[in-house]
Structure 1
Amino acid sequence: MNVLQWLANLQPALVGAVLLWAGGIKLLSRSARLAARRSALVRLVGKDRVFVAYRAVGAVEVGIGALLVAPPVHPAEGLAAAGLGAAMLGYLGYARLAAPGSSCGCLGDKHVPVRFRGFARAAVLMLAGALAVAATEFWTVTLTESPLATVGVLLAEAALIVVLSPELDHRWLHPLRRLRLRISHPLAGRPAEVPLAASVQQLHKSAAYSSVAGLLRSDLLDTWDEGDWRLLAYAARTESGKVTAVFAVPRLGFRPEEVRVVLVPEAELPAPV
C-alpha cells in the first residue's frame, strides 16, 4: 500500500468525526438558537426559518459523518463530504460579502466573524473528503495494521482543524497567551522590588478595577505593602455614600487576575491620630 492510499483510508475517520462534532453542536447545543441567529443563514433564509435551516444543516452533517465513520467504505461518502466542504466554502464566501459581521456558526456557539481560518478549514475538509473517495479499506483496518502512525496522523490533522477553528480559541489559544504573558512579562517572577507605576498598571488591567472604576473619585491616595501584596487606596462613592476602595495587587509578579478590591465605608476607617 502506498502512502497516498494509506492517507486516503484515514480521511473518513477525520472528516466523519469533524462532521459529527459540528452537526452535534447544531442539533444538541443549548445555545444553538442563538448561534443560528448570529450566522449568515439569517440573510439566506430569513429570521423565521433560520433555526430550522441551522438544524437541517446539522442533520446533514451528522448523517454524512455517521456514514464516514461506519463501515463499509464507499466512494459516495467521500464525494458527499467533499461536496459539503465545497458548499461550506460557498457559504463562507457569501457570508463574507453579504454579512461580514455575521458568525460562521460551524464548530461552536462562539460569535466569530468569517475570516481566513474559516475558509482554510473548509478547504482542508473538502480536500480530505476528496481524498476519502479513494479509500479502499475501512479506517479501523489501517489503525490495526499501523496504530502509532495512524494515531499520529489523525491527531496532527485534528490539531490542524482546531488551529483553523476560531470558535475554539478560548479552549487553547487564549490560555496559551495568558501563560506566555505570565512567563515573558518583565514583572513575571521578578524577586526585586517593583515600582509603584508598575503596580498601578497591573491594577488597571484587572477585572477588579474594571468592576468599580465608575465609582472612583480620586487618583491614588495611599499605598503600602503587606507581604506579597501591595495595597492601593482610592476615594470612591456608592449609593450609600463615600467609601475607600482598597485594592490588593500582587507585588512581585504580574497576575492581574488575582487583584482583589474591597469598599470600606468612611465610618469604618480608623480615625487619624
Structure 2
Amino acid sequence: MVNDLAAVQPLVLGGILLWSSYGKLVGDQVPAKARRTALVPLLGKDRAVPAFRAVGVAEVLVGLALVLSPVGFGAALGATALATGFVAYLVYAKVAAPDSSCGCVGSKAAPVSWRSLGRAGLMLLGAVLALTATSSWWTVFADRTAFALAVVVVEAMAFAALSAELDHLWLVPLRRYRLRLTHPLSNTAGDFEVPLVNTQQQLLRSPAYREVSPYLRSDIREHWDEGEWRFVSYTAAYDERAGLAVFAVPRTQYEPDDVLVAIVDDETGKTLYKPRLVKRADLLPMAQ
C-alpha cells in the first residue's frame, strides 16, 4: 500500500507543478507578479522577473518528467529539490519580506502564511515519498483505480485548502453561505419582491449607513431577502481587519431609521462592530 501511495505522488506533484508554472510563464501580468514577491529583496528588482520565469521553466520540466516517467527517481529527486527550495524561500520571505506576495500558484496575489508554508511542506513530503516508488502511477491506476483516485482527490483537496490563491473559488462562497445562516441581524417573515434600487436609496439615507460609511470599501457585493428584511453586504475594513458590512433594510416599508448594520470578520464570522444607533423619534423630546 505504501508503494502504491508513493507511485501516485508523481502524478499529483506533476499536475501541481505544471499548473503552478502557468502563472509564472503566461500572461502580461507576470512581471508585476514577480515584483510583488520576495525575489526583489533577495535578488534585486532587475533579476526578480527572470528568476520568477526560471522557476516556472523548472516547474514545467520537472512536472513533465514526473508525469511521463515510468519510474522517475530522477524526476522525484528534482521535485524534492524544488520543494526544498520552495520551503527555504517561503521561510526567507516570511522573515525578510512579510508583506510580499507568495507568487506560488494561480494568478491572484497572496501573502506568505502558515498555509503556504504547509503547502510547500506537503509537496516536500510527497516528493520524498515519490523517491521510494518502484512502479509507475498508471500501473497503480490500472490495478487499484479506486485507491489511486482517492489519493489524488484527497491530496488535491488538501492542496486547495492550503492555497489562499484559490479561496475565491470555494472558501469565500462558503463563508458567504455561512453568513446568510448565522449573521447577527437575521430575521424571518413573508415574501415580496422589491427592486434593489429602492433598497439602496433607503440604505443611503439611513443613519446606519452614515455611521459605518468610513469603513466601507466597495459597492454592494450581494443581497438576499428574509421575510420583511433585505440584507445587503459590502466589503469593509475595521480595526485593520477585513470584513463584511451587513445591513438589514426594511423591505416593504420606507423606514431609513430602522436600518441595522453589523461589520463581521470575513474569516471567522465574528461581529467586529455593531453600532448602537438612536432613532430620530427618540431625539424629538430632546429637541423640544
Structure 1 length as normaliser, TM-score? 0.71
- Give the Cα–Cα distance (whole angstroms) in 2 for the partners of residues 69 and 164 of structure 1: 23
Matched, 1:119 2:131: no
Structure 2 counterpart of 1:207, from 219, 244, 247: 219
- Give the Cα–Cα distance (whole angstroms) in 2 for the partners of residues 108 and 230 of structure 1: 46
CA shift for structure 1 position 56: 0.6
Matched, 1:61 2:59: yes
Q: 1:200 to 1:107 in 2, by over 3 A?
A: farther
- Give the Cα–Cα distance (whole angstroms) in 1 for the partners of residues 110 and 252 of structure 2: 38
CA shift for structure 1 position 71: 2.8
Q: Residue in 1 aligned with 2:15?
A: 17
Q: 1:210 to 1:164 in 2, by over 3 A?
A: closer
How do 1:3-82 and structure 2 match up within 5 A? 3-82=1-80
Contact 2:69 2:75 in 1 (8 A): no
- Give the Cα–Cα distance (whole angstroms) in 1 for the partners of residues 253 and 49 of structure 2: 52
CA shift for structure 1 position 150: 1.1
- Give the Cα–Cα distance (whole angstroms) in 2 for the partners of residues 63 and 55 of structure 1: 13
Q: Percent identity?
A: 39
Counterpart residue type for residue 179 of structure 2: L
- Give the Cα–Cα distance (whole angstroms) in 2 for the partners of residues 153 and 159 of structure 1: 10
Q: RMSD between aligned alpha carbons?
A: 3.0
Q: Which has the larger radius of gyration?
A: 1
Q: Residue in 1 aligned with 2:165?
A: 167
CA shift for structure 1 position 75: 0.9
Q: Residue in 2 aligned with 1:142?
A: 140
CA shift for structure 1 position 151: 0.8
Matched, 1:191 2:189: yes
Provide Cα deviations, 1:55-108, integer angstroms capped at 9, x if missing partner: 110000111001001132221111111111111111011111111110110012
- Give the Cα–Cα distance (whole angstroms) in 1 for the partners of residues 234 and 13 of structure 2: 43
Counterpart residue type for residue 146 of structure 2: L
Provide Cα deviations, 1:122-181, integer angstroms capped at 9, x if missing partner: 111011001111112211111111212211111000000011111111111111100100
- Give the Cα–Cα distance (whole angstroms) in 2 for the partners of residues 177 and 230 of structure 1: 29
Counterpart residue type for residue 50 of structure 1: A
- Give the Cα–Cα distance (whole angstroms) in 2 for the partners of residues 78 and 104 of structure 1: 24
- Give the Cα–Cα distance (whole angstroms) in 2 for the partners of residues 173 and 87 of structure 1: 28
Structure 2 length as normaliser, TM-score? 0.68
Counterpart residue type for residue 90 of structure 1: A
Q: Which moved more, 1:184-193 or 1:9-18?
A: 184-193
Structure 1 counterpart of 2:90, from 86, 89, 92: 92
Counterpart residue type for residue 82 of structure 1: T
Q: 1:202 to 1:187 in 2, by over 3 A?
A: farther
- Give the Cα–Cα distance (whole angstroms) in 2 for the partners of residues 232 and 103 of structure 1: 45
CA shift for structure 1 position 189: 6.2
- Give the Cα–Cα distance (whole angstroms) in 1 for the partners of residues 209 and 136 of structure 2: 55
Corresponding residue pairs, total:
217
- Give the Cα–Cα distance (whole angstroms) in 2 for the partners of residues 152 and 72 of structure 1: 21
CA shift for structure 1 position 111: 2.4
Gaps of at least 5 residues in structure 2 are 192-201, 221-232, 236-248, 260-288
Counterpart residue type for residue 115 of structure 1: S
Q: 1:26 to 1:230 in 2, by over 3 A?
A: farther
Contact 2:207 2:256 in 1 (8 A): no
- Give the Cα–Cα distance (whole angstroms) in 2 for the partners of residues 100 and 210 of structure 1: 28
Q: 1:29 to 1:171 in 2, by over 3 A?
A: farther
Counterpart residue type for residue 31 of structure 2: R
Counterpart residue type for residue 124 of structure 2: M
Gaps of at least 5 residues in structure 1 are 212-223, 235-248, 250-273
Q: Secondary structure, in 3 states, of the residue corresponding to 1:73?
A: coil
Contact 2:6 2:130 in 1 (8 A): yes
Counterpart residue type for residue 134 of structure 1: T
CA shift for structure 1 position 229: 4.4
